[in-house]
Amino acid sequence: MDPALFQENERLTPKADERRFVDIGALECERGGRLANVTVAYQTWGTLSESKDNAVLVCHALTGDSNAAGWWDRLVGEGKAIDTARYFVVCTNSLGGCRGTTGPSHLAEDSRPWGSRFPEITIGDTVEGMRRALSAIGIERLHAAAGGSMGGMQILDWTVRHPGEIRKAWLTASCAAHNANQIGFNEAQRQAILRDPKWLGGDYPPDDPPVGGLAVSRMIAHLMFLSEAALESKFGRRLQERGTDGAKGPGIGPSTFDPRSQFQVESYLEYQGEKFTKRFDANSFIWLTRAMNAWSVESLEGSTTEYLLTSFTSDRLYPPHQSERLHQMAEEAGCKSRWVNIDLPYGHDAFLLDEGEQGEAVKRLLEP
């Protein structure tokens, strides 16, 4: 198994802060509510051509940020699938996030965190935030846009709402709408946060957030991000070295009464959950997952975009049939489309790591 599969927080924690910020003015949210002044954090790589026809937007997944060359380092960079020597690559932090763009943890006009007062946002609102940010830096049309999971949803929504603005789109490990399993999965994670006494209805103090609930939420997520084969290969039933004295004999696991006694997979989940609380906000998780669950695209009619859909055979969170359906929708709308289903045992997180078959498909799509 690829060691990077088990280093999620290490991959997603920026080594340096290279963000820039742009104010995009007021935003009237689709479901009511108004954000008086929205700031969008973004990063860029490469050089925008004089004709401005080489811009590629990268949209991050739920808990990502604007540092695409960091968390997608196998695919974004000089000489890689999204080649920063050829393309001007832009990645923004999503509206409602907590990595620089206006979200629930940011200050409202009264100088207090938005908290529970933050308006309900939609995938369409996040798209509008990105569109305005790109316009502010001089980009009105994109050669291509790329994203996985929530990022793929944003791109798909964009191509339908604003035909002609994205020439080519790559959606990986994504869908046209969450199904009951995905809605329920997000709800289980949210409930871990909502039932933490420190959540306080979303108005918790910045220095005392509901880290216990957020950590448990992330532990749940990791069990779906990785495939059964990946978890079994990495951990199996092996015990932590410090906890083997809790075992009582062959075939008997650690004692539930001994806190030192622990399976390796338990220790891994606890570690990843705790580390996650250092870089993400509980309210952002709640607001963004609600937006994802509520969103759907029924048809691609009217889109002029060329699509590439990639999926992974072992992805339990966004199974391949959802990408296959996207491919069918694109063809039904008369759009050029290609679906590539990749046989890797890594699970959902394969979309962050596979520079092989996935990378070659992207290179082919991006060619003029």
- Indicate whether 189 and 175 sit together in one domain: no
d(CA 115, CA 107): 9
Position 6 scores a pLDDT of 80
Q: Output the average pLDDT for the chain.
A: 93
**Residue 350 maps to a domain:** yes
Categorize the per-residue pLDDT at 128 as very low, low, confident or very high, splitting at 50, 70 and 90.
very high
What pairing do the DSSP bridges indicate for beta strands 142-148 and 88-92?
Answer: unpaired
pLDDT, tens digit, 9 for 90 and up, residues 197-254? 999 999 999 999 999 999 999 999 999 999 999 999 999 999 887 544 444 444 555 5
Considering 249, 284, 319, which residue would you say is the last residue of a domain? 284
**Residue 164 contacts residue 141 (beta carbons within 8 Å):** yes
Return the half-sphere exposure (C-beta side, CA atoms, 13 A cut-off) of residue 358.
28
Structural domain includes residue 76: yes
Take residue 263 and report the two structure tokens written for it: 């399976």
* Partner residues linked to 42 by β-bridges: 20, 92
Q: Are residues 162 and 68 in the same domain?
A: yes
Does residue 203 have an active-site annotation? no
Do residues 108 and 175 both lie within one domain? yes
Q: Are residues 142 and 13 in the same domain?
A: yes
Would residue 7 count as lying in a domain?
Answer: yes
Look up the domain containing 93 and give its range. Answer: 3-179+296-366
- Name 22's bridge partners: 40
The two tokens of residue 306 are: 């060329």
- Residue at 290 is within a domain: no
Distance CA 190, CA 77 (A): 35
Number of domains in the chain: 2
Token pair, residue 173, equals 């490990």
* Residue 126, Ramachandran bin (φ over 0: left; ψ between -120 and 50: alpha; else beta): alpha
Amino acid at residue number 363: K
Q: What CATH number corresponds to the domain at position 270?
A: 1.10.1740.110
Whether 83 is in a domain gets the answer yes
The values of phi and psi at residue 247, to 5°, are -75, 145
Can you state the angle between helices 123-136 and 150-161, rounded to 10 degrees?
Answer: 70
Query: Is the domain of 27 the same as that of 61?
Result: yes
Same domain, 25 and 137: yes
Told to judge if 143 belongs to the known catalytic residues of this protein, a careful annotator would answer: no
Last residue of a domain, one of 264, 284, 304: 284
The alpha carbon of 314 is separated from its chain's Cα centroid by a whole number of angstroms, namely: 18
Q: Up-side HSE of residue 21: CA atoms within 13 Å toward CB?
A: 11
Catalytic residue among 94, 217, 348, 349: 348
The per-residue pLDDT for 244 is 43
Predicted local confidence at residue 262, as pLDDT: 83
Q: Rounded to whole angstroms, how far apart are CA atoms 287 and 277?
A: 16
In this prediction, residue 88 carries a pLDDT of: 98
Catalytic hit among 149, 284, 314, 337 = 149
Q: Is 149 a catalytic residue?
A: yes
Tell me phi and psi for residue 144, to 5 degrees: -160, 160
Q: What is the pLDDT of residues 15-71, one digit of tens each?
A: 678 999 999 999 999 999 999 999 999 999 999 999 999 999 999 999 999 999 999
276 and 333 in a common domain: no
Q: What is the pLDDT of residue 243?
A: 42
Same domain membership, residue 303 and residue 280: no
Question: Does residue 33 belong to any structural domain of this protein?
Answer: yes
- pLDDT the model gives residue 260: 56
pTM, rounded to two decimals: 0.93
Residue with tokens 């709640």: 286
Tell me if 291 is assigned to some domain.
Answer: no
> 153 and 11, same structural domain?
yes
Asked if the model's pLDDT at residue 134 lies above 90, the reply is yes
pLDDT of the residue at 49: 96
Same domain assignment for residues 348 and 258 = no
Confidence at residue 165, expressed as pLDDT on a 0 to 100 scale = 98
In a domain, 308, yes or no: yes
CATH of the domain at 37: 3.40.50.1820
The secondary structure element, H or E, covering residue 75 is none
Percentage of the chain lying above the pLDDT 90 cut = 88
Judge if 71 and 208 occupy the same domain.
no
- Do residue 220 and residue 325 come from a single domain? no
- Strand boundaries in 142-240, DSSP class E: 142-148, 166-172
| One-letter amino acid for residue 97 of the chain | G
Task: Give the mean model confidence (pLDDT) for residues 141-150.
Answer: 98
User: pLDDT value at position 177?
Assistant: 98
Q: Is the pLDDT of residue 10 over 80?
A: no
In the three-class reduction of DSSP (H, G, I as helix; E, B as strand; rest coil), residue 162 is classed as coil
